[in-house]
């Protein structure tokens, strides 16, 4: 099968926004629609499951220049559609932007302003289940067996008990949650409805869909049809699924362009943080940043991961360290800054599109949901050094194309030290159909990380370097990032001296 994926994603850096918690508009409250003039939870209070802090899309639009300055090129929003939950995975209306977010007026302004700055916009599609407030399910609750929409959902028997835990629900809910009735994707009108929702927002101008729990949809051919219909409107639209483990089934070029790459997240944190990982924060979610591993094991896991899917897919995976579903990375690593810095270095130098979870770049912490969904810190509380680090590593990736789309080659391991190369030829750039940004280079980049407590010396043999690129002989290297020393040996090998808990890019 000829696998094609969106060219823009291959060079993208994503920023994930949880809309209720990123930014409130600077507009006077009295000038906002009445649906936004409502009581809200204090912005800096610990977040609760059932409360709103009132972040909105006007606020996001007002902060787009901040995102451009950070260096990101795409935004992934968790759901924005009308809902009775702060996270908005309980969809009430797939065609309406939540009024608390500013409605369609705010979204239209945001989308236009983002595109004017070269920022792509990807929305979260919750197409496995709806909510008790979704009109077609609500009609069933009101009219019982007389409802014309019964076949849209998976009703088992009567009566339904959507709220009373003392009785069986009598309808299928996602993970048995009564608040989340599951669609009957085998029912043609329900299936067509969801397809048309996907098409509608692509026609409105969004640049892709992130698909919530797509593995729960068991109807044969559903996601293949979804892809065909989305790509028929915009061949460059990005389709990325929330799949936490092996995604081979969905990544053969006929369904998704990528998945949220938790198979990168777990081993990366297990390597750079080791026993610093806070086990209570990671034993529930299924991405396993434990037990601690050494460099050889990490290199093997990354090599295996990169062999798992077609290369075209690898370049459009969504790589991450934090998300709205897991504890923030800085908390996971016990607020050990060197662990985070090494993880961020590996994130920015790995094949696929890196994604920054809102606030990680300014030093935000947070435990498991809902604590990982805190309000974005006021500027007076930003960690400016942390922000500068993110800007530097994002800029490094964007200015060296090899770090985005170059071939990945493991070079050497020694205890807790690991080195790899990203190499890119002009021919590969042409084959990928990429534009070379002004000032970007094609040089091969060597990346080395020492996650250990002692300084280490890695020697990369000349024949290993030659396999990466015939032009490499260990000479002429330039330090691009980090702390360390590189020395060319007489036989053409390269000796790298790396301090403890440090990384380097040559």
* 431 vs 443: CA distance, rounded Å: 17
Strands across the sheet with 208-211, in order? Answer: 258-259, 238-241, 208-211, 120-125, 74-77, 14-17, 353-357, 318-320
Strands across the sheet with 481-482, in order? Answer: 407-414, 417-423, 445-450, 502-505, 481-482
Residue 467, pLDDT score = 83
pLDDT tens digit sequence for 413-428: 999 999 999 998 777 7
Domains detected in the chain: 8-128+185-399 (3.20.20.80), 130-182 (3.90.400.10), 406-505 (2.60.40.1180)
Residue 440, pLDDT score = 64
Q: Which of 62, 207, 212, 325 is catalytic?
A: 212
pLDDT tens digit sequence for 155-172: 999 999 999 999 999 999
Q: Are 284 and 371 in contact (CB under 8 A)?
A: no
* 316 vs 311: CA distance, rounded Å: 9
pLDDT tens digit sequence for 106-155: 999 999 999 999 999 999 999 999 999 999 999 999 999 999 999 999 99
Our answer to whether residue 245 is catalytic in this structure is no
Q: Are 313 and 251 in contact (CB under 8 A)?
A: yes
* 303 vs 99: CA distance, rounded Å: 46
pLDDT band (50, 70, 90) for residue 442: low
Q: Are 91 and 131 in contact (CB under 8 A)?
A: yes
Taking alpha carbons only, the member of 296, 324, 259, 495 closest to residue 410 is: 296
pLDDT tens digit sequence for 332-369: 999 999 999 999 999 999 999 999 999 999 999 999 99
- Quote the pTM value: 0.96
pLDDT tens digit sequence for 382-416: 999 999 999 999 999 999 999 999 999 999 999 99
Q: Which of 62, 124, 242, 325 is catalytic?
A: 242
Our answer to whether residue 242 is catalytic in this structure is yes
HSE-CB of 67 using CA atoms within 13 angstroms: 33
Q: Exposed (0-12), middle (13-18) or buried (19+): which is 488, by Cβ within 10 Å? A: middle
pLDDT tens digit sequence for 174-209: 999 999 999 999 999 999 999 999 999 999 999 999
Mean pLDDT confidence for 446-467: 94
């Amino acid at each position: 099968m000829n696998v094609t994926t969106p060219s823009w994603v291959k060079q993208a850096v994503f920023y994930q926004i949880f809309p209720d918690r990123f930014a409130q508009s600077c507009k006077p409250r009295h000038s906002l629609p009445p649906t936004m003039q409502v009581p809200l939870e204090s912005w800096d209070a610990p977040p609760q499951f059932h409360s709103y802090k009132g972040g909105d899309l006007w606020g996001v639009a007002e902060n787009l220049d901040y995102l451009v300055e950070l260096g990101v090129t795409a935004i992934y929003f968790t759901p924005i559609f009308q809902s009775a939950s702060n996270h908005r995975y309980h969809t009430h209306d797939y065609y309406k932007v939540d009024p608390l977010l500013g409605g369609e007026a705010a979204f239209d302004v945001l989308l236009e302003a983002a595109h004017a700055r070269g920022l792509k916009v990807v929305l979260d599609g919750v197409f496995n289940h709806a909510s008790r407030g979704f009109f077609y399910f609500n009609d069933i609750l009101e009219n019982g067996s007389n409802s014309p929409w019964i076949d849209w959902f998976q009703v088992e028997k009567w009566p339904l008990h959507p709220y009373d835990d003392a009785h069986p629900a009598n309808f299928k809910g996602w993970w048995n949650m009564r608040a989340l009735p599951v669609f009957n994707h085998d029912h043609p009108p329900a299936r067509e409805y969801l397809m048309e929702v996907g098409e509608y927002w692509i026609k409105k101008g969004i640049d892709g869909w992130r698909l919530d729990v797509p593995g729960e949809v068991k109807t044969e051919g559903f996601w293949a049809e979804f892809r065909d219909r989305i790509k028929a409107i915009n061949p460059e639209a990005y389709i990325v699924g929330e799949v936490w483990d092996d995604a081979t089934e969905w990544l053969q070029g006929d369904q998704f362009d990528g998945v949220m790459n938790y198979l990168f997240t777990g081993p990366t944190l297990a390597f750079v943080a080791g026993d610093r990982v806070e086990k209570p924060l990671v034993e529930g979610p299924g991405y396993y940043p434990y037990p601690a591993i050494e460099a050889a094991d990490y290199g093997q896991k990354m090599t295996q991961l990169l062999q798992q899917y077609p290369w075209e897919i690898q370049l459009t995976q969504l790589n991450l360290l934090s998300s709205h579903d897991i504890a923030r990375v800085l908390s996971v690593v016990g607020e050990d800054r060197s662990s985070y810095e090494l993880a961020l270095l590996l994130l920015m130098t790995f094949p696929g599109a890196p994604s920054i979870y809102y606030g990680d770049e300014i030093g935000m912490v947070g435990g498991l949901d809902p604590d990982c969904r805190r309000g974005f810190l006021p500027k007076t509380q930003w960690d400016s050094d942390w922000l500068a680090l993110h800007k530097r590593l994002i800029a490094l990736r964007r200015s060296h194309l090899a770090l985005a789309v170059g071939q990945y080659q493991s070079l050497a391991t020694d205890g807790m030290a690991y080195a790899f190369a990203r190499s890119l030829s002009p021919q590969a750039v042409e084959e990928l159909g990429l534009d070379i940004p002004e000032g970007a280079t094609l040089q091969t980049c060597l990346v080395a990380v020492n996650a250990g407590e002692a300084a280490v010396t890695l020697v990369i043999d000349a024949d290993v370097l030659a396999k990466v690129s015939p032009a490499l002989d260990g000479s002429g290297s330039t330090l691009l990032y980090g702390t360390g020393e590189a020395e060319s040996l007489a036989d053409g090998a390269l000796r790298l001296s790396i301090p403890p808990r440090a990384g380097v890019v040559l």
